[in-house]
Amino acid sequence: MLPTNPFKTAEDYIQLRKKYTPNTWAETMTIMSDMIIMPVIALFLLLTNQVDIFLLVSTVVKAYQCWFEYEHYMNLRSQVQMMFLHMVKVGGPFIRTNDMAYMPYVFADAVVRTRR
């Protein structure tokens, strides 16, 4: 199903793609730490009764936020893929870009043009 606001979908996807498809090992390790490693450490400290409540709360909140954003990113990714398939189906692209990072805008343009 195509999104109701394709340009907002494209913008949100581009912003989240910058975060969840990192270019360096440091960025990858930061994401892995926030989503997996720190929650496991906090759980281990909780089970051994050595946890600091502020560490536990901040770790849980950060992990929840990261997983929520990642799930939203994956949903947007499927919507952008549907916009791409729609663009191909209607004979697009109708506009071009030199930067591949902004291709979701080209897909969104094809969706908007066919709705007019």
**In the chain, what is the straight-line distance between the N-terminal and C-terminal CA atoms, in Å?**
17
Q: Measure the CA–CA gap between 89 and 81, rounded to whole angstroms.
A: 12
pLDDT at 15 over 90: yes
Question: 25-79 pLDDT, tens per residue?
Answer: 999 999 999 999 999 999 999 999 998 899 999 999 999 999 999 999 999 999 9
Average pLDDT over residues 5-17: 97
Q: What is the pLDDT of residue 12?
A: 97
- Rounded to two decimals, what is the model's pTM? 0.89
CB atoms within 10 A of CB 92: 18
Average pLDDT over residues 81-109: 94
pLDDT band at 16 (very low <50, low <70, confident <90, very high): very high
Helices and strands in the chain: count of H runs, count of E runs: 5, 0
**Burial state string for 38-73 with b = 16 or more CB within 10 A and e = fewer than 16:** bbeebeeeeeeeebeeeeeeebeeebeebeeeeeeb
Question: 96-107 pLDDT, tens per residue?
Answer: 999 999 999 999
CB atoms within 10 A of CB 91: 9
Ordered by start, the domain boundaries in the chain are: 6-115
Q: What is the DSSP letter of 96?
A: -
